[in-house]
Amino acid sequence: MDTQRELREIVTQMRGLLRSYQEIGLDPPPISADVLGFFSTTESKTVRPSAPHGGEGKVRVVVPDRSTSLMHLRERIGDCQRCKLHKSRTHLVFGEGSPEARLVFVGEGPGYDEDMAGRPFVGESGKLLTRIIENGMGLTRSNVYICNVVKCHPPKNRDPEKDEMEACIPFLREQLRIIGPDVICTLGRVAGQALLGKGFRMTGERGQWRTYQGIALMPTFHPAYLLRNESAKREVWKDIKQIMQRIGLEVKAHG
């Protein structure tokens, strides 16, 4: 890639990052005046720092990596009180896994165990999801990214309400934008509707490829549903095999 084109792409990415912070009502991450000045002039001129011994230096632009960007997002969420869920939570559950993940799992919201631990999918449903990731896909939880539509535990494990999801969905949208996975896998009806619209129905649409902001999306059953309906595991395995094929993983026989 030539230098001018690379710089233009970096500028575009940085502008998109700043816009996304504005959309969710957050201040942009601290950026020095020198860096802002550089990005304001990049498209009109090429900056070539001096190299040792009088040679021509290479253009070097430092942009936040995905891990840092996720950290900044978490810091800006802070001790969130944007909806009523904060009143009963123990911990805000942001998400965990690889910032470079090619696959992101999205659930509806933290349960009791997750609320106590401050981590997503650590209860019985989480143990089943871990087995799917490790035994079914041959990956580890650290290879993927796991998060939820809402970051705080809805009381009595009820579905998140409209205002709660509206307050939280911008942060999920930003997580997905930062990570830029190849595939999103939504777990359950609520997560599917949050990203695909209220018209989404598990019946008939589960297992069918969709897209969310240009990212391939596979909706499947929530692990909690599988704990109550053993027969549905066969359908989820079909969905998982499609995801594996999409991201180039070898699909082996599954007992």
Boundary (domain end) residue, out of 63, 89, 105: 63
Q: Is 216 inside any structural domain?
A: yes
- Residues 19 and 130 reside in one and the same domain: no
Q: How many domains does the chain have?
A: 2
Q: Is 254 inside any structural domain?
A: no
Residue 184 pLDDT > 70 = yes
Question: Which own/partner pairs from 116-122 qualify as long-range (CB within 8 Å, at least 24 positions apart)?
Answer: 116/90, 116/91, 117/91, 118/90, 118/91, 118/92, 118/93, 119/93, 120/93, 120/95, 120/96, 120/146, 120/147, 120/148, 121/146, 121/223
Listed range (14-18, 78-82, 84-88, 228-232) with the worst mean pLDDT: 14-18
- Residues 174 and 238 reside in one and the same domain: yes
Q: Which amino acid would we find at residue 206?
A: R
- Residues 56 and 119 reside in one and the same domain: no
Boundary (domain end) residue, out of 13, 30, 63: 63
Rounded Cα distance between 52 and 219, Å, is 54
Q: Is 105 inside any structural domain?
A: yes
Residue 19 pLDDT > 90 = no
Region 180-205 average pLDDT = 97
Residue 53 pLDDT > 90 = no
Look at the block and give the residue holding tokens 């997503």: 120
DSSP-derived letter for residue 50 is: B
Region 188-203 average pLDDT = 97
Question: What's the pTM?
Answer: 0.77
Q: Is 255 inside any structural domain?
A: no
Q: Is 126 inside any structural domain?
A: yes
Q: Is 251 inside any structural domain?
A: no
- How much is the pLDDT for 63? 56
Q: How many percent of the chain have pLDDT more than 70? A: 74
Domain containing 123 equals 67-246
